[in-house]
């Protein structure tokens, strides 16, 4: 009788341990699944670009750029253009962090071009994603829209208008990981997009209209391409400095 009692107790202990272990494994599996489904977030709105891994996006002689002749120049560490023609990297990038400063004249309209698979003239427009640079400070108290500073142009408006008045330097940081991209302006993350969710070239997932010249759904675009800076629009100049990139592995 004593032996049978010990055997029964041992069996109960073993069963309880097995249940506990199974419960822990289930909990770990659930946590892992939650982690995979949670949206990623920008790690740091503005990183320290003096750390290892960072490099200038363009050489000062523009030898690593697709450079329209006579348009883009450096002056005392500042890059600018005299007409509306974009400057592109010769290299292509997929996962990266891009950090730069930009200043503009009143009424300026420019942009940072990402994942471009076309670089000729305006042919890049439907084959890329653009982060908007615009003199939006006068509209700081108005409703947000997807054609103002910090927006993913035509698709996602900034959550808050962080741009400074014309004539002051602004800092942009853009992170790209696969289909997902984030933009921070002057210390705050203001926009995020998942390209895989955009299956229409007419309306965004939130129902807003897409400009007709963005004629390819984002979900069909490449997530690797050239990076570009849009040139001067009209009489409003735009200047860039400290344009740095770090590839993410």
Instruction: Please give the average per-residue pLDDT across 136-158, as a whole number.
Output: 88
Outline where DSSP puts E strands in 38-169: 55-56, 65-66, 72-75, 78-81, 87-89, 96-104, 109-116, 129-134
Residue 87 half-sphere exposure toward CB, CA atoms < 13 A: 29
Provide the 3-class DSSP secondary structure of residue 229: strand
What tens digit of pLDDT does each residue of 167-214 get? 999 999 999 999 999 999 999 999 999 999 999 999 999 999 999 999
Burial of 112 (0-12, 13-18, 19+ CB in 10 A): buried
Question: What contacts 83, CB < 8 A, 6 or more positions away?
Answer: 71, 231, 232
> Which CATH code fits 55-247?
2.60.120.560
What tens digit of pLDDT does each residue of 105-133 get? 999 999 999 999 999 987 999 999 999 99
Closest CA to 89 of 76, 107, 106, 72: 72
Q: Is the dihedral of CA 193, 162, 147, 106 positive or negative?
A: negative
What is the pLDDT confidence band of residue 233, given thresholds at 50, 70 and 90?
A: confident
- Asked if 229 and 79 count as a contact pair (C-beta separation under 8 A), the reply is yes
Mean pLDDT of the chain: 86
Question: What contacts 81, CB < 8 A, 6 or more positions away?
Answer: 71, 72, 73, 87, 229, 231, 232, 238
202-238 b/e (C-beta count within 10 Å ≥ 16 → b): eebeeeeebeeebeebbeebebebbbbbbbbbeebbb
Q: How many CB atoms lie within 10 A of CB 244?
A: 17
Q: What percent of the chain has pLDDT over 70?
A: 82
What is the predicted pLDDT for the residue at 1?
A: 42
- Asked if 190 and 183 count as a contact pair (C-beta separation under 8 A), the reply is yes
- Asked if 199 and 71 count as a contact pair (C-beta separation under 8 A), the reply is no
- What pairing do the DSSP bridges indicate for beta strands 65-66 and 87-89? antiparallel
pTM: 0.82
Place of tokens 């054609």: 147
């Amino acid at each position: 009788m004593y032996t049978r009692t010990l055997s029964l107790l041992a069996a109960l202990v073993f069963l309880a341990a097995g249940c506990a272990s199974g419960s822990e494994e289930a909990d770990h599996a659930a946590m892992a699944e939650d982690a995979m489904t949670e949206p990623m977030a920008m790690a740091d709105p503005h990183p320290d670009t003096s750390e290892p891994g960072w490099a200038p996006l363009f050489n000062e002689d523009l030898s690593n750029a697709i450079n329209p002749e006579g348009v883009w120049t450096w002056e005392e560490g500042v890059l600018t253009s005299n007409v509306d023609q974009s400057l592109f990297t010769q290299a292509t990038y997929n996962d990266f962090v891009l950090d730069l400063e930009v200043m503009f004249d009143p009424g300026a309209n420019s942009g940072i071009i990402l994942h471009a698979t076309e670089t000729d003239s305006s042919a890049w427009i439907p084959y890329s994603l653009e982060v908007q640079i615009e003199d939006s400070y006068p509209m700081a108290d108005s409703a947000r829209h997807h054609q103002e500073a910090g927006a993913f142009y035509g698709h996602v408006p900034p959550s808050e208008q962080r741009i400074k008045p014309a004539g002051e330097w602004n800092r942009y940081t853009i992170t790209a990981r696969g289909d997902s991209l984030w933009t921070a302006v002057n210390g705050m993350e203001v926009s995020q997009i998942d390209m895989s969710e955009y299956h229409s070239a007419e309306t965004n997932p939130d129902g807003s209209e897409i400009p007709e010249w963005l004629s390819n759904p984002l979900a069909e675009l490449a997530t690797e391409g050239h990076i570009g800076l849009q040139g001067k629009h009209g009489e409003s100049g735009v200047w860039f400095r400290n344009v740095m990139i770090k590839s993410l592995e």
